[in-house]
Amino acid sequence: MTSVAEGQASFGASRVRLGSGARSRRRAFPWLLLAPSLLLLAAFTYLPIVRVAWESLHDKPHGTRESLFVGLGNYAVLFSDKAFTQSVVNNLIYAAGTVPPSMALALLFALAVQRSTRFNAVVRALLLFPSMVPLVAAASLFFFIFLPGVGLFDYYLAKIGVRGVNWLGDPDVALWSLIGITIWKNAGYYMLFYLAGLQTLPGDVLEAATIDGANGWQRLRHVIVPLLAPTTAFVLVIALINVLTQVDHVIVLTKGGPSNSTKLVLYYIYEQAHENFAAGKAAAASLLSVSFLLALSVVSLKTMERGAHAAS
């Protein structure tokens, strides 16, 4: 009897060991599937950020190959640089001038073409077309549109007796010309997200609002816009990322001029790194931009999470 009990105990222990081993393998299997993506993410996202953070604390004097540790010296020089301050102000104006109008137009476009008809399909394609044009090509196109006196814009203004200005050469107007290009290009792209968000709205809530006597504006303001809060938060992040990362039109059209009136933060970084060879300042400005985007993403995810809980 003793040998039988001992055999049963050893069999039970082996089953426990086998069961724990199987559970460990099941837990490790998803990580094995994710390992290639995690390695690529670390190699091309997180390691470059670490590299930029390291470079922001070092400086390489001109004509030498040795990097000297300067601590927060690059950040002190950066904030004392009037060109950097001007680029931040320009970026804030650029964001305020592009993000709200683009998102508002995107929502209006989505509301106008949300029904699936052949006509709406054609309109959707037309509205989406600018977002499919590369920004360099769009900038080159608008270069000919904005030519003073002979450009397409001034031509049609002359038809109604209005004299155009130097759209890209006037410091008071050049940044607003870039804002117009950005709105034209991005509104159709953001429309896609709002179209997807409108498809998820609960129909019974909209029907109840209609039965209660709410008109179109009241339904939009008190029902549709609040329910689209997670979509709006997501689109806001995408829009602000575009504001900080799109610089092709600046390079093609103005190169930051005239008088630094169109110099955005990313163009400032490009200028410091590739023209002034100030890698430390460029790295410090890049790290500040990445930190801002990270904080913005966290806030947006929290907003989306609260919106999802409220909707449920």
pLDDT in tens, the chain (312 residues): 555 555 555 545 555 555 566 777 788 888 888 888 889 988 888 888 888 889 888 887 766 677 788 888 889 999 999 999 999 999 999 999 999 999 999 999 999 998 888 898 899 999 999 999 988 899 988 988 888 888 888 888 888 888 888 889 899 999 999 999 999 999 999 999 999 998 888 878 777 877 777 777 888 888 888 888 888 888 988 998 899 888 899 999 999 988 899 999 999 999 998 888 888 899 999 999 888 888 877 877 777 667 656 555
d(CA 56, CA 290): 13
Q: Could you tell me the pTM of the whole model?
A: 0.83
Instruction: Give the pLDDT confidence of 102-145 residue by residue, as tens digits.
Output: 999 999 999 999 888 889 889 999 999 999 998 889 998 898 88
**Helices H / strands E in the chain, number of each:** 15, 2
Which residue ranges make up each domain of the chain?
Answer: 2-50, 76-311
Amino acid at 59: D
**DSSP 8-state symbol, 58:** E
- Closest CA relative to residue 295, chosen from 246, 241, 230, 245: 241
Q: What are phi and psi of 129, to 5 degrees?
A: -55, -45
**DSSP 8-state symbol, 45:** I
> Phi-psi bin for 190: left (phi > 0), alpha (psi -120 to 50), beta?
alpha
d(CA 219, CA 8): 70
**257 touches 76 (CB < 8 A):** no
Q: What is the fold of 76-311? A: MetI-like fold (1.10.3720)
The per-residue b/e assignment along 264-281, b for 16 or more CB within 10 angstroms, e otherwise, is: bbbbbbbbbbeeeebbbb
Instruction: Give the pLDDT confidence of 222-269 residue by residue, as tens digits.
Output: 888 888 888 888 898 899 889 988 889 999 999 998 889 999 999 999
101 burial type by CB count under 10 A (0-12 exposed, 13-18 middle, 19+ buried): middle
The per-residue b/e assignment along 171-185, b for 16 or more CB within 10 angstroms, e otherwise, is: eebbbebbbbbbbbb
Secondary structure (3-state) at 150: coil
- Closest CA relative to residue 106, chosen from 198, 2, 172: 198
CB atoms within 10 A of CB 162: 10
**297 touches 237 (CB < 8 A):** yes
Backbone CA torsion sign across 87, 88, 94, 97: negative
